[in-house]
Structure 1
Amino acid sequence: MGSRILKLHTAFLLGAVLLGSTPALAETVLHRGNAGEPQTLDQAHTSINIEEFILKDLYEGLTIYDASGKIVPGAAESWTLSDDALTYTFKLRQDAKWSDGSPVTADDFVFSFQRVEDPKTAAEYANILYPIKNGEKVNKGGLAPAELGVKAVDAKTLEIKVERPTPFFLELLAHQTALPVSKASVEKNGADFVKPGVMVSNGAFKLVSHVPNDNLVVEKNPSYWDAANVKLDKVVFYPIDDQAASVRRFEAKEMDLVYNFSADQIDRLRSSYSDQVHVSPTLATYYYAFDSRQEPYSDVRVRRALSMAIDRDFLAKEIYSGSQIPAYSLVPPGIDTYGAPAKADFADVSQLDREDKAIELMKEAGYGDGGKPLNIEIRYNTNPNHERVATAVADMWKNTFKAKVSLVNLDVSSHYAYLQEGGKFNVARAGWVADYADAENFLALNLSTNKTFNYGHYESPEFDALMAKSYAETDPAARSKLLHEAETHLMADQPVAPLLTQADLWLVSSRVQGWHDNAANQHLSRFLSVSQ
């Protein structure tokens, strides 16, 4: 009897195979909460990370960030740099293909980079590629796009010339602005090249569907050169900017990843989900700038005293629930090419001793209790947390120096427009998130020649000279030493008071494998897998 049943069962399975009706293996799907609706999937117009997360699943640049946030080969399998550090030659992968099966060529990259710098494109982040020879001149209309320093030597060899030695150039090429587009697709489809069913991409995934404010779906790209090692069949991005709703969906096991949840939930979530809660320091600094064009902020003693009196531990723990870290350097930790940042000399002094020294400095400068009155206005961009920080700092300055402190806030666009256009102020809140993982990206904010982001109009010939030397230095160790000297000088002068190193907040389901916290906040889906 048993033998007959076995034969019948075997026959049924054989019939199922012959009829092609074998049940399919379950798809491996990653559900990603993405903190907002992407405004564009066009490389030339992207500017925020919720777009970057999607674009880097769809496209692959010459270089990419691996799972641990390190720069590794992407569409280029290798590259060489000339002795004068001015010419990069990239060898594209022979098996690099677009999702339509056509080869990825050097011409595609030439077209893509020229498109970004062409002023007609009006690319928001065109400056990312300014280190390419003639990049800024092309973008500002002084030269034709064809004059950009990029050339297809042959179908799989790309040559890029830079204006000057740029040690962080490989980092720039991993930025979403440097992702390639298919020349054939853009020329054929125009602005529609970004649409599902039309988009041709060269990354690990291809765009399947996009329902605005609901979900965006990408599927594994069988034409991708490393498709054999991509463990996910599909990734669904959910554009949820309601942080509480994101957390609820994570708790209901509807989403595997949640980005940027509310900091006041950290303790509760940690008690329930333990190591699924990730607080990862990122390359971003929250700081106050002093307007050094006017007294008393032109006096280094006043700037140092005000900075020393700020209790950064209180800000990090009480206002941000431990989701941010006290900062005493403008450059955040986590930049491999830089190492440990150069901190202010009072970083390791207790807060009480700092306050005593601050009072001495302020009296020496002739301000505060018993001296000239200290009237301070703190400007910040409208945000509940920024208001709480400003209120706390105001109390610290009142208690330490008997200062009279007032607050003024504007919406984020108006706030930064005021600062960038040279508006006068006393103290202003600002933040900087790295465009690329290099200390120069932070230090250059304070160059006297930086008319846009040097909000306090700080001028120091010594600092400028150290930075100039760093630009000419091609030896990585010697360059790092110069940048550390520049930051040491900056932290002694305190034209800006770094307050906090920001952190990225992620919820990562225990069923997700391959996740690595990293300062670059790079988490390509191709390096992740999920257990069923």
Structure 2
Amino acid sequence: MSEEHLSRLSRRALLKVGGAAFAGLSAYSMGLRLAGAQEEQVLKVAHPVFTMDWSPLRGGGHHFRWNSLWWAAPMYFDAESALQPYVFASWEPSDDARTWTFKIADDAKFSDGSPITSADVKGSWELAAMPASKSQRVAQLLSGVEGYDAVVGGSASEIPGIATPDESTVVVTLTAPDPVFHMRIANHIAPIVKASEARDESGNEVLDWYMPENGGSVSGPFKMTSVDLDAGTLVFEPNENFFGPAPKLARVDITTVEDAVAATALLQAGDYNAHTELVTSTIIQDLGAEFSAGPIIPTGQHFWLNTSRAPFDDPKVREALILAVDRDGLFQATFPDGPHKKADQIIFPVPGSEDSGFKPYPYDPERAKQLLAESSYGGPERLPKILIAGISSPARAVAGQYIAEQWRQNLGITAVEMKPSQDDFGPEGSQVQVMRDDVGTRVPDAVAYLAGAIASSSSTATNKLGGYKNEKVDALLEEAAALPVDDPERIAKAQEAQRLFREDYCFIPWYHEAMSRWALPSVKNIDKNLDWQVATPWAVEIG
């Protein structure tokens, strides 16, 4: 049997079986070396899940990380969090920041050569807001726009607060002043699509309109040229009509590799040079510091305590279980070599992160024992079983196990169960009390960050914290949101809100996230932005 045939068989085994079957074997012993020299200027991506829906309108999911390959945003933040024009060449607020006027770039066009018009922008945003589109994050962009609620609620298909006075002008009217609205739309959550192709007569999304066989026009630097969803493979090639800089890559190949160990081995072997998201505790030892290097972004991973479910409905239990965890040890157990940064608070690294009045939760096992004894449960033996969810990666599993062990050692709590996701608990799923999940902001602003994390209207407060509501926190954030970005009181009120939330003892801070490259050193300019997307995909090259 030839070496090339053995190599193909080994790669196929890794893709189908997973890395566990090859534990302890080197990449060389598995026969994973490439049979020939790697093709130049081809980005070869290992994708962690079989994604069956690649629509750019979902506002989330692993495929969302690659939206910037083939779709243009109104504006975008670069890797240094500086705002850059894209489809919109300019933006101007009214004096009260309630009306915003955007001008489309003169040369903006789709891959079929047709111009991007204001009707396309309006249609793209309305389509993303339609309930059937199931966008995970469209509210982050458009919830403040007049008429948005009717569309997302299913009673309308057009948003009157988005006006198109001419083909190159978009005027947005908000329900209340918002000094950072232009920052909210500077992302690929609802990218600009060709509305006449993507929407049907009812205003909903045309099935698979974006697939190459359906002739879907794209607005970004690459276009999808080949796809086999069952095999988990996609190919992107340069869009010859892209209105920005010419792409340096000749092709982008995306192949599904579900197992993290297998993906690591294939990257080590050189079969791939990038990954969509690889979260392991040994990532630096396995693939080098540069693979996962990146700036710390305003996204944090934490363990949230559901205040509506026993035993976390007792504030003393919540405080006890937080103080019983050595958070320095938690971080060292999961990311001893980085690239992330240990978290103490929520807002970071945005203006207002440096708050001298914020006191991190201490590690105090003795105080924790006292609090548990004083609680309505009186001790560990009367606590119900604690279910922890959201630990779907190796590092997250280690974190969950570390917390459970701390509770056992320091408080005598032994009834703790963990599963990767809430769905894995079956009928017990609705009883999950601790959820590992991220919170963050697409806007480098403390108020926006906290509004999506601890305000009673946020998904975190509603779902993960079990309907958490602190009226003083809500009032401070509402007052701060109306203030200009450069007003010191905007930050001061956000800091005060975060301090009040701290005293409710609702979360175990874990880490602030580095926006990892997830690419080998040979891949250049693949830095990502606040939206987990390649900021300048046209500049990516293999060198």
**Length-normalised TM-score, structure 2:** 0.78
Q: Show the 5 A alignment for 1:424-503.
A: 427-434=433-440, 436-437=442-443, 438-439=445-446, 440-449=448-457, 452-453=462-463, 455-477=465-487, 478-503=489-514
Contact 2:40–2:542 under 8 Å retained in 1: no
Q: Counterparts of 1:330 and 1:374 in 2: how far apart (Å)?
A: 32
Contact 1:292–1:457 under 8 Å retained in 2: yes
Runs of 5+ unmatched residues, structure 2: 1-38
**Residue of 220, 236, 239 corresponding to 1:221:** 239
**Residue of 72, 75, 78 corresponding to 2:90:** 78
Shift of 1:224: 1.7
Shift of 1:269: 2.1
Secondary structure at the residue paired with 2:349?
coil
Q: Counterparts of 1:187 and 1:429 in 2: how far apart (Å)?
A: 37
Secondary structure at the residue paired with 1:446?
coil
Range with bigger deviation, 230-239 or 374-383? 374-383
Shift of 1:454: 5.6
Distance 1:52 1:416, change over 3 A: farther
Q: Show the 5 A alignment for 1:63-102.
A: 63-102=75-114
**Residue of 226, 246, 250 corresponding to 2:263:** 246
Range with bigger deviation, 182-191 or 67-76? 182-191
Shift of 1:130: 1.7
**Residue of 257, 266, 271 corresponding to 2:274:** 257
Q: Name the aligned partner's letter for residue 239 of structure 1.
A: T
Secondary structure at the residue paired with 1:498?
strand
1:5 is aligned to none
Q: Counterparts of 1:444 and 1:205 in 2: how far apart (Å)?
A: 32
1:514 is aligned to 525
Q: Show the 5 A alignment for 1:237-316.
A: 237-261=254-278, 263-269=280-286, 273-278=288-293, 281-293=296-308, 297=312, 300-316=315-331
Q: Name the aligned partner's letter for residue 108 of structure 1.
A: D
Q: Name the aligned partner's letter for residue 170 of structure 1.
A: H
Range with bigger deviation, 277-286 or 170-179? 277-286
Q: Answer yes or no: is 1:138 the counterpart of 2:138.
A: no
Q: Counterparts of 1:417 and 1:166 in 2: how far apart (Å)?
A: 42
Q: Counterparts of 2:337 and 2:436 in 1: how far apart (Å)?
A: 20
Q: Name the aligned partner's letter for residue 440 of structure 2.
A: A
Secondary structure at the residue paired with 1:91?
strand
Secondary structure at the residue paired with 2:254?
strand
Alignment RMSD (CA, Å): 3.5
Distance 1:187 1:214, change over 3 A: closer
Q: Counterparts of 1:218 and 1:255 in 2: how far apart (Å)?
A: 15
Q: Counterparts of 1:281 and 1:512 in 2: how far apart (Å)?
A: 20
1:163 is aligned to 175
Shift of 1:105: 0.5
Q: Name the aligned partner's letter for residue 89 of structure 1.
A: T
Q: Answer yes or no: is 1:41 the counterpart of 2:54.
A: yes
Q: Answer yes or no: is 1:407 the counterpart of 2:416.
A: yes
Secondary structure at the residue paired with 1:465?
helix
Secondary structure at the residue paired with 1:508?
coil
Distance 1:53 1:66, change over 3 A: same
2:386 is aligned to 378
Range with bigger deviation, 126-135 or 448-457? 448-457
Post-superposition CA distance 1:179-227 (Å, at most 9, x none): 1111233368942421115120111122221232343222222222223
Distance 1:528 1:250, change over 3 A: farther
Secondary structure at the residue paired with 2:189?
helix
Q: Answer yes or no: is 1:30 the counterpart of 2:43.
A: yes
1:209 is aligned to 226
Shift of 1:306: 2.6
Contact 2:517–2:526 under 8 Å retained in 1: no
Range with bigger deviation, 466-475 or 382-391? 382-391
Q: Name the aligned partner's letter for residue 225 of structure 1.
A: F
Q: Name the aligned partner's letter for residue 460 of structure 1.
A: N
Q: Counterparts of 1:124 and 1:484 in 2: how far apart (Å)?
A: 27
Q: Counterparts of 1:357 and 1:259 in 2: how far apart (Å)?
A: 42
Q: Counterparts of 1:443 and 1:418 in 2: how far apart (Å)?
A: 32
Shift of 1:345: 1.4
1:334 is aligned to 349
Secondary structure at the residue paired with 1:235?
strand
Q: Counterparts of 2:357 and 2:365 in 1: how far apart (Å)?
A: 18
Q: Counterparts of 1:295 and 1:238 in 2: how far apart (Å)?
A: 43
Distance 1:53 1:120, change over 3 A: closer
Larger Rg: 1
Range with bigger deviation, 460-469 or 73-82? 460-469
Contact 2:284–2:292 under 8 Å retained in 1: no
Q: Counterparts of 2:476 and 2:59 in 1: how far apart (Å)?
A: 33
Secondary structure at the residue paired with 2:462?
coil
Post-superposition CA distance 1:271-295 (Å, at most 9, x none): xx45344376454433333444578
1:178 is aligned to 190
Runs of 5+ unmatched residues, structure 1: 1-25
Shift of 1:165: 2.7
Q: Counterparts of 2:542 and 2:396 in 1: how far apart (Å)?
A: 40
2:11 is aligned to none
**Residue of 43, 47, 51 corresponding to 2:63:** 51
2:35 is aligned to none
Q: Counterparts of 1:443 and 1:147 in 2: how far apart (Å)?
A: 24
Range with bigger deviation, 405-414 or 108-117? 405-414
Contact 1:376–1:406 under 8 Å retained in 2: yes
Shift of 1:159: 0.9
Distance 1:134 1:152, change over 3 A: same
Range with bigger deviation, 52-61 or 322-331? 322-331
Shift of 1:517: 6.1
**Residue of 131, 134, 153 corresponding to 2:165:** 153
Q: Name the aligned partner's letter for residue 481 of structure 2.
A: Y
Secondary structure at the residue paired with 2:442?
coil
Q: Tell me the matched-pair count.
A: 490
Distance 1:527 1:483, change over 3 A: farther
Q: Name the aligned partner's letter for residue 60 of structure 2.
A: S
Range with bigger deviation, 181-190 or 70-79? 181-190
